Structure 1
Amino acid sequence: MSTAEIIVTEARAWIGTPYLHQASLKSVGCDCLGLLRGVWRGALGTEPELPPPYTPDWAEAGADTLLAAAHRYLVETDPHDVRGGDVLLFRWRYGLPAKHCAIATSYENMIHAHDGACVTEIAISPWWRRHLSHAFRFPGI
């Protein structure tokens, strides 16, 4: 099994995990960053960094913290060439920091966690494509 397939399989194992801000425990709770952290642990081993505590409105502070962390640990790729296993970052509006992340399962689908719902696999609809700002690959893919 390729690393990308391992990442997709691990991400799918998180489906149904309830949303819980700042958490990263499969079947217990996670937010979008917690999902990414948990998939890293499940597919690659110990995560490289623990995030500092953050509030639900952390991105409104203006710093592009999520994008900076992605640049530190992931390999940037073309957001128009999304593949299974890629990490996707989204901005709600042009010029704002990236505030949401997901893991692509294919060019057409992704797994994500969001407030008020369990981790789910959804289609990357035109709305999501308009808000997709960056794509990254895990190291070694």
Structure 2
Amino acid sequence: MSPADPNRVIATARSWLGTPYHDQASLRGVGCDCLGLARGVWREAVGPEPFPIPPYSRDWGETGPREVLAEGARRMMIEVEPAAAEPGALVLFRMKPRAIAKHVGILTGPGTFLHAYERLGVIEEPLTSVWRRRIAFAFQFPQR
């Protein structure tokens, strides 16, 4: 599996800027959550979604034995070490210690990322040390 062109992934992700936040939605300009943003970028940069996404909770403190998001990403993306993730990579954040990774963003530069955030919608912001230390997994989008 070869990685997708990161510039295409980033341009596609930026086309979602300003999309309002809407839990479990994935429609550019209409509404999405963080996973919905990643799904939309996938559809535009890679192709049809390979499997349906089951309903999921919004609880960032959720714990459990399985990293469900990471397992799903491994089925269809190229995993890379978080420290080696470059712009265009999908990153999964662990928002609370010992919780499973439940937040998703896309790196847009060496120090920036894009994500959908409640009340703010899709935004691009600095990848501060607070955000950086929460990265638990990283993946490259595959070529079409």
State TM-score, norm by structure 1.
0.92
1:133 matched to 2:140? The reply is no
Q: Which residue of 74, 80, 85 maps to 2:77?
A: 74
Residue 85 of structure 1 is matched in structure 2 by 88
CA RMSD of aligned residues (A): 1.7
Residue 57 of structure 2 is matched in structure 1 by 55
Which structure 2 residue ranges, 5 or more long, are not aligned? none
- The answer to which structure has the higher helix fraction is 1
Q: In the aligned structure 2, how far is the partner of 1:61 from the partner of 1:53? A: 17
Size of the alignment, in residue pairs? 140
Moved more, 106-115 or 90-99: 90-99
CA displacement, residues 49-85 of structure 1 (integer Å, 9 cap, x when unaligned): 2211223228625232111111111111121122111
Q: Which residue of 38, 41, 51 maps to 1:36?
A: 38
Which structure 1 residue ranges, 5 or more long, are not aligned? none
Q: In the aligned structure 1, how far is the partner of 2:112 from the partner of 2:106? A: 9
The structure showing larger relative contact order (alpha-carbon pairs under 8 Å, at least 6 residues apart) is 2
Moved more, 113-122 or 13-22: 113-122
2:37 alignment partner AA = L
Residue 23 of structure 1 is matched in structure 2 by 25
1:64 matched to 2:85? The reply is no
Residue 9 of structure 1 is matched in structure 2 by 11
Moved more, 68-77 or 16-25: 68-77
Moved more, 18-27 or 70-79: 70-79
Q: In the aligned structure 1, how far is the partner of 2:48 from the partner of 2:121? A: 24
Moved more, 79-88 or 33-42: 79-88
Overall identity of the aligned pairs, in %: 43
Q: Which residue of 86, 99, 102 maps to 1:99?
A: 102
